[in-house]
């Protein structure tokens, strides 16, 4: 059952966070739905501009609609990840998306406000909610590289002004994370004080954490042992910090890189151990099962595991 992102946030706020998982293909979608059902968790399926262009956006929509039939118990929202203005309008018009993210955080504040406001107006007219971003995440975000050292944490006072001026429904904040596998070079972690300060300025507004992958060290080691060359120092967010962040108003935790690592490990190990194999399905089967296991582990850490029946009841009542 596709529900609104708003309903999911209202149920989760202050208690747990929804895993927002990026998908690009059939196998990821199957593993995601299976893991969500196994852990009895609601979730957000998110589609980036790159994912929409990988095959054809209609393929992903078709597969997700089929998954909804194959897994009738699933409760989820469909979200555009890192949209530009044009893609946001396309998704809003399509009627398929529960929410869109307008990412104009690389623009100056006033410009970010103006773009976000236009998208909010178009989205709200169609019952779609909007995630906006303020502040700069370190690392590589889509095609924009930001020097990690100069990464700008979200300013709480600006956050208040931004939400008031734009009417956005949730806010992606820079709170110490960055995209990809190389997040921290030292012992840094999430800036809890900053999350608290932002939330104090905009109580009730769900916060979104991008760049939340944990980059498990054993995963990196297995990939490299099977011929990979991931650089040393690949490091992610401590997944034990998801729940404390959720309790401070972080309702959506974006995870993409970790899923890519599962894919890479499974396929490298599979074909290394079976060099004579050329059927893609046995490896695909292993991946779907392993990705489902990964989703269960994340939903348990996010606190979304076990919420499925309660969220379904909540969403159908509203
Ligand atoms: O934050 C970006 C996401 O990981 C999506 O990545 O644009 O390569 O699909 P992508
Ligand atoms: P990771 O690269 O940490 O998985 O972050 C994904 C993300 O923020 C998608 O928007
Ligand atoms: Zn992101």
Q: Domain holding 309: CATH number?
A: 3.20.20.70
Q: What is the pLDDT along the chain (318 residues), one digit of tens a residue?
A: 999 999 999 999 999 999 999 999 999 999 999 999 999 999 999 999 999 999 999 999 999 999 999 999 999 999 999 999 999 999 999 999 999 999 999 999 999 999 999 999 999 999 999 999 999 886 544 444 444 444 579 999 999 999 999 999 999 999 989 899 888 766 678 999 999 999 999 999 999 999 999 999 999 999 999 999 998 878 899 999 999 999 999 999 999 999 999 999 999 999 999 999 999 999 999 999 999 999 999 999 999 999 999 999 999 986
Buried/exposed 28-62: b ≥16 CB within 10 Å, e otherwise: bbbbbbbbbbebbbbbbbbbbbebbeeeebeebbe
Contact 286, 270 (CB under 8 A): yes
Q: Measure the N-to-C terminal CA separation of the chain; round to a whole number of Å.
A: 14
Ligand 2 pocket, mutate which of 177, 211, 236, 258 (most atoms under 8 A from CB): 211
**Neighbouring C-beta atoms of residue 149, cutoff 10 Å:** 7
The total of other beta-carbon atoms located within 10 Å of residue 93's CB is 12
Nearest CA to ligand 1 atom 10: 50
Catalytic residue list: 81
CA-to-CA distance for 19 and 213, rounded, in angstroms?
Answer: 11
Distance CA 70, CA 116 (A): 36
Quick one: residue 237, left, alpha or beta (phi over 0 = left, psi -120 to 50 = alpha)?
Answer: beta
Number of domains in the chain: 1
pTM here is 0.96
DSSP, collapsed to helix, strand or coil, labels residue 129 as strand
In angstroms, the CA 234 to CA 216 distance is 9
Domain of 310?
A: 5-317
The reply to whether ligand 1 has any atom less than 6 angstroms from the CB of 199 is no
Q: Check residue 308 and give its pLDDT.
A: 98
- 60 contacts 49 by C-beta, under 8 angstroms: no
From 20, 23, 28, 48, mutation site for ligand 1 pocket: most ligand atoms within 8 A of C-beta: 48
């Amino acid at each position: 059952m596709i529900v609104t992102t708003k309903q999911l946030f209202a149920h989760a706020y202050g208690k747990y966070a929804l895993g927002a998982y990026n998908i690009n293909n059939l196998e990821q979608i199957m593993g995601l739905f299976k893991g969500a059902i196994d852990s009895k968790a609601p979730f957000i399926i998110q589609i980036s501009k790159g994912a929409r262009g990988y095959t054809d956006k209609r393929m992903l929509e078709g597969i997700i609609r089929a998954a909804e039939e194959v897994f009738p118990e699933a409760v989820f929202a469909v979200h555009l990840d890192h949209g530009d203005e044009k893609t946001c309008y396309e998704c809003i018009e399509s009627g398929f998306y529960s929410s869109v993210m307008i990412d104009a955080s690389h623009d100056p504040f006033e410009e970010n406000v103006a773009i976000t406001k236009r998208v909010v107006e178009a989205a709200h007219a169609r019952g779609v909610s909007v995630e906006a971003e303020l502040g700069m995440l370190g690392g590589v975000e889509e095609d924009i590289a930001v020097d990690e050292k100069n990464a700008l944490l979200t300013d709480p006072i600006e956050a208040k002004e931004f939400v008031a001026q734009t009417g956005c429904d949730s806010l992606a904040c820079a709170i110490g994370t960055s995209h990809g596998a190389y997040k921290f070079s030292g012992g840094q972690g999430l800036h809890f004080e900053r999350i608290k300060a932002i939330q104090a300025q905009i109580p009730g507004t769900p916060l979104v954490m991008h760049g939340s992958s944990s980059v498990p060290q054993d995963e990196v080691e297995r990939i490299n042992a099977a011929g990979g060359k991931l650089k040393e120092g690949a490091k992610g967010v401590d997944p034990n910090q998801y729940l404390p962040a959720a309790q401070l108003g972080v309702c959506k935790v974006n995870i993409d890189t970790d899923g890519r690592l599962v894919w890479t490990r499974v396929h490298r190990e599979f074909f290394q151990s079976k060099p004579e194999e050329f059927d893609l399905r046995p490896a695909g089967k292993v991946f779907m099962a392993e990705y489902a296991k990964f989703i269960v582990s994340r939903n348990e850490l996010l606190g979304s595991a076990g919420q499925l029946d309660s969220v379904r009841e909540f969403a159908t009542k509203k």
